[in-house]
Amino acid sequence: MKKVLITGAFGFLGRHTAKKLKEDGGYYITGIGHGKWNFHEYQQWGIDEWHNSTITFESLINLRNKFDVIIHCGGSGSVGFSIENPYEDFQKTVQSTLSILEYIRSQNYLCHFIYPSSPAVQGNIGDKAISEGDPCNPVSPYGFHKKISEDLCSSYNKNFGIPVTIIRFFSIYGAGLQKQLLWDACLKIKEASEEVSFFGTGEETRDWINEKDATRLISTVASTKDNLSLSVLNCGSGQKTTVRETLELLVRTYDKKIIVHFNQRVKDGDPRFYHADITLANKLGWEPEISLKEGLETYVDFFKVLMA
C-alpha cells in the first residue's frame, strides 16, 4: 500500500484528491494543513489521519512517517490575495514548497513530489493554446511565486535526483468550491432580477477543468512508476471559452432570464487568455470527460441546495 501525504487537504483540491485516491484503492492517506476536522469528517474524504498544522520542515519531521508520494495542495490560490498580501503569499507558496523539498531530500529520499502549479507562471502568452514549453513571464505576485516554486522543484530534481511532477492546472471548478468566478456569479445571479455586471470585457478566455477530471490526472501521475525525471504537464479541458459564454451558460443553467453586462475594467494580474495544450497529459492515457455544460449543471445544483 502506498503512503501518500496531501498538504492543504482541508481545501477544495486537496480533499477531492484524497477522495479520488481512496476510491482508487491502495493508498494510506495522511493530510496536513489548516482546518479543524474530527475523525468522521476527514474520514469521509478518504483521509486516514489528519494533522492541523502549518506546513514547515519541522512539522513534516514531526509526522514521523515516510511517504511514497507527497501532493502539495497547500499554499495560496488567488492572484488577488497575492497582490494585497505579497509577503504572506510568498510564505504560503514558496516557503512551504521549499520545506517539503528539503524534507524529501534529507528525510524521505526519492519520494515522488507532485506540485500543483498554474499557467500564471507564463503570464500573457496571447490567444493560443499554451504549451508547457512556452516562455515564462509572470505578471502577478501569484505567478512569480509559483514560478519560483517550480524553479525550486527543478533545482532539487537536477541536484538531488528528487522525482517531481508539476501539474499546471487551468480553471478548476466543481461542486463544493465557494470562491472565484462561478461562485461569485451564482451569488449575483441569485439576487438579480434583470441584469448582472462583471469585471472585464467578456472576451477573455478561460479553460475550465472539472475537479473530477483534475483529480483523475493527479491519480494517474501518482500511480506511475517511480522515475528520477522532472515532468511538467498542463491540466485543462483543451478548449477555450470566453467569460461571456461561460456566464451566459451559467445564467441559462440557473434558469433565470437576466442580462449579463461587463464593465470593461480589467483586474491587475489577470491574463486575458487561457487555453491549455494538453497533448502531454493525453500521452499518459488521460483526457477530460466532463463537459462545461454538464459541470455547470452540477455546480448550479450544488449552489441551489446550499442556499435553500
Angle between helices 292-307 and 243-254 (to 10 degrees): 50
Q: What angle do CA 133, 136, 141 make, to 5 degrees?
A: 145
User: Is 112:170 a contact under the CB 8 Å cutoff?
Assistant: no
**pLDDT confidence band for 225 (50 / 70 / 90):** low
What is the tens place of the pLDDT at every residue in 63-121?
A: 999 999 999 999 887 888 999 999 999 999 999 999 999 999 999 998 999 999 999 99
Using a 10 angstrom Cβ sphere, with 0-12 exposed, 13-18 middle and 19 or more buried, the burial of residue 92 is: buried
For residue 267, what is its C-alpha cell?
483586474
Q: Give the tens place of pLDDT for each residue, 29-64.
A: 999 999 999 999 999 999 999 999 999 999 999 999
- Pair 170, 235: CB distance under 8 Å: yes
The percentage of residues in the chain with a pLDDT greater than 90, rounded to a whole number, is 90
- Packed helices 12-24 and 211-222: angle between N→C axes, nearest 10 degrees: 60
Domains of the chain: 2-172+209-235 (3.40.50.720), 175-206+239-274+290-307 (3.90.25.10)
Q: Please determine, for residue 228, whether its predicted confidence score (pLDDT) is greater than 80.
A: no
Question: Residue 172 forms beta bridges with which residues?
Answer: 209
Q: Could you tell me which residues come within 8 angstroms of residue 166 by beta carbon, excluding any fewer than 6 positions away?
A: 115, 117, 150, 153, 230, 231, 232, 233
Rounded CA separation 301/299 (Å): 5
